Amino acid sequence: MGIMGFLRDRMGKILAFFIGFALLAFIISEVVRSGGSFFRDDNNQLAVVNGEKVPLDKFNRLFDQNTNQFKQQSGQAISGQITSYIQETTWNQLLSDLLLKKEIEKLGLVVGTDESTAMVSGNSPDPQIASQFRDPQTGSFDRNRLNQALSYLASAKADTAQKNQWAQFLTQVFEAKQKTKYVTMVTNGLYVNSLEANDDYQAKNKLVSFKYATLDYASIPDSKITLTDADYSAYYDAHKAEFKNPQETRTFEYISFNAAASKEDSAAIKTDITKLADSLKVSTNDSLFVQINSETKTPLAFQKKGTLDPKLDTLMFNSAKGFVYGPYVSNGSYKLAKLSDVKTTFDSVKTKHILISPQTAGGLDKAIAKADSIKKLIQGGKSFADMANMYSTDRASATKGGDIPAFDVNGAMGAGQGQIAAEYTNAAFKAKKGDLVIATSQFGVHLIEVEDQKGSIKVVKVALVDKPIQASSKTQTVAYSKAQKFLASLTKDNYDAEAAKEGLKPRNAEDVAGTSSSLPGLENARDVVRWAYKADKGDISDKVFTVGDQYLVTRLTEIKPKGTLSLDAVKKQIKPAVLNEVKGKQLDEKFQAALNGASSIDQVAQKAGTKAVPVQNIVFANPIIPGQSAEYKVVGSVFGSQPNKLSKPVNGAQGVFVYTVDGFTNPAPLTNNIRQKQQIAQTLLQRADGLVLEALKDNANVKDNRAKVL
């Protein structure tokens, strides 16, 4: 009874202990299985560079900044491929900054107080600073604008956000100066001597004429060659330095189950949108009709000729208001188009603006109120340029008095200059010359002054209703069920057999980097890549992946680690070259037999069953034989030969060669090598920045977690 009483009194604590122990064991097993740490936040660690941890959020901030900059400069949508490009650029930027910072600290390179003052307000300000304070009329540096800005920033009335932005900008300028000092120290050590100058001159100007015979590797069918392990090993050992893998890659194969829209799906969507055509014809509020019925809620805006879909452009400009066209297919959707309005307007508008950020102003309402206050000050006689310099968060235009390049009714500013926000464009085209108007866009609150309105063009407003041609739930369910059934039938040993039984052909994704977000022909495949970098060789995915309109079942087939790859890892890659090596031995023997007793290249060619081809005026620096590809080994051998002597067989890129040199034409002696030295030095300087960073990266100890956390 005592034991039973003890258990009754303490049963709650005992259960809590065992439940807690089981839960802890589960958590630890999950952490171990996923490769993480129970005591460390691996998910927020992008990398470790020479012992220094790089937080993921630091990378994300820089990535967001680069993405926004790309959007503003290109006007392109951010696809998966572009995202991968920006991520890689951001990584290289972050890594380079870290490595250079360490080197700069080791050397004690600084920007002193006097130097920093001279860079900001000295006789010759740093180019980055000078570029922010240009006269909008002449484009030259305007010291008065710089002095006004510095005086404002030093005053008590200066906006805190603007002072912080200026401080961050100066930090970037000074850090760039430190990097310039470091690279300058390296490049100052570069030297071109007279021998190098003369060699370069000879390589570009010495001419050779020769006659050659060749036996192409392609003359022997691959099927006639049996490669041995020794053949592969010999080639691998001779070229091992070429097989250095800069980063880990993974190769996997996948079976794709198509869930794209069927003919029946397409017909049903066409029927649905056709029913909307009559309603669109009688609509009195086309903008509202688009918002209710269209998949893409495109705001109605006036557009000039040449900017509409090619199927609509001429049609809409030659039709009467109210005309409805469609349904028609464009960019994967069925569409209806209605000519909602037609008018004549200005060809372009010239403006300047002051941008107020809702974030720094304390909210949208306060930003609008601030813009209205500035508007009243300008109407009272204050200079728009001065107000822009004081208050605008768009510093690129603020230093130019708020100036914005002229733009058309579509907001286009011209080639390479970007796009004006639609809200800004609409406000500017509705106003009259000289008006001050306020508009709100994704960038903030704009106080706009309309400086000029030029030209006269016809513009149209077209209401577009679209219905994407997408697979029905039935089509998707059928495809997904097939994928699930296939996955359920798999083991590590029967993947190929099951695929063949179902008539399915696996596709390969070879040497996929850990940061890739797409596969050949497949966008937004990041989940698949993450799986590949957590899987072991031979693993089959434990789920069906959805990538666009495809369902994928995957199997990891190869892992190539960072560093020098093994023979097995490159065996498939080097097979063509190994075949040529073995063929080269046979062709070499054929030429050796032809050389026996021959006194001219013509005799060698005839005995080998080929032709002798004359070549004139080849230079060492451009080793291309007419009718052949670049033949570095052959041309190099030619320049090291004596005239009128038959060469031994030389294994080139496309085949085996035998030649005889007719003669060399030497250039005039190089009496003054200064220009030659300068040209070589300039080439070295152009490559120096990149080579310095590559050398630092090669010597750095980098633990890269991007494949797991991005």
Other CB atoms within a 10 A radius of the CB of residue 421 amount to 16
Which pLDDT tens digit goes with each residue over 447-472?
999 999 999 899 999 999 999 999 99
Average pLDDT in the 237-254 region?
94
pLDDT at 398: 87
Q: CA of 698: how far to CAs of 41, 95, 551, in Å?
A: 27, 12, 39
**128's tokens:** 């980055």
**Fold assignment, 249-260+472-561:** Chitinase A; domain 3 (3.10.50)
pLDDT at 31: 39
3-state secondary structure of 38: coil
pLDDT at 68 over 50: yes
Helix residue spans in 364-472 (DSSP H): 364-379, 384-391, 395-398, 422-430
Q: For residue 500, name the pLDDT band (cuts at 50, 70, 90).
A: very high
Burial letters 671-692, b for 16+ CB under 10 A, else e: eebeebbeebbeeeeeebeeeb
Compute the Cα dihedral for 52, 55, 56, 61 and give only its sign. Answer: negative
Average pLDDT in the 496-518 region?
92
CA-based end-to-end distance of the chain: 61
pLDDT at 375 over 90: yes
pLDDT at 507: 95
CA dihedral 33, 39, 42, 44 (to 10 degrees): 140
pLDDT at 399 over 90: no
Task: Tell me the whole-structure pTM to 2 decimals.
Answer: 0.67
- What CATH number is given for 348-454 in this structure? 3.10.50.40
The proportion of the chain whose per-residue pLDDT surpasses 90, expressed as a percent, equals 65
Average pLDDT in the 639-646 region?
96
pLDDT at 85 over 60: yes
Which pLDDT tens digit goes with each residue over 326-342?
999 999 999 999 999 99
Q: Which has the higher per-residue pLDDT, 288 or 389?
A: 288
pLDDT at 40 over 50: no
Which pLDDT tens digit goes with each residue over 602-629?
999 999 999 999 999 999 999 999 988 8
pLDDT at 572: 92
Which pLDDT tens digit goes with each residue over 265-289?
999 999 999 999 999 999 999 999 9
